[in-house]
Amino acid sequence: MKGMDLLEVATDVLYILEQKASKKPLEEQELRQRLDRGEDLLQLLASAAKAQISYSGQKDLFILKVAEELEKSLGLRPSELAERLVESSLELEQNSPSEDTVKLFEGVLNIVMKLTSRSVDALSASLL
């Protein structure tokens, strides 16, 4: 997953969670599909957080940067972030996300928007 993919997944999950909270009817297949993509994103970020501890696994620099920025914004060590991401992934799997999971996705969304914006700005400057 790259910047725009991450934005799409985080936005979709937040939308679904907002709809669930407001008790609006959702199509079960659409709900499950979007939550599954959210689980995949959390597992990818957990893998990146674990890679910072063991120096193995995740090699995608953008994902590693997102995980690092998420650690900073939440004030967590890599092992704590990995644990929190796994817990949130399980919550999505069980279709019972907590407020912490919502905040986690909001953090991911903000971080990815910031990093993607920087990339676009850098690319734009080099094209001029």
Residues in the chain: 128
- 29 — pLDDT class (breaks 50, 70, 90): confident
Whether the Cβ atoms of residue 78 and residue 69 lie closer than 8 Å to each other: no
Type of residue found at 33: Q
More confident residue, 22 or 102: 102
Assess whether pLDDT exceeds 80 at residue 2.
no
Q: Which helix (H) or strand (E) holds 90?
A: helix 78-93
pTM for the full predicted model: 0.84
pLDDT for the residue numbered 3: 77
Number of CB atoms found within 10 A of residue 91's CB: 20
- 117 — pLDDT class (breaks 50, 70, 90): confident
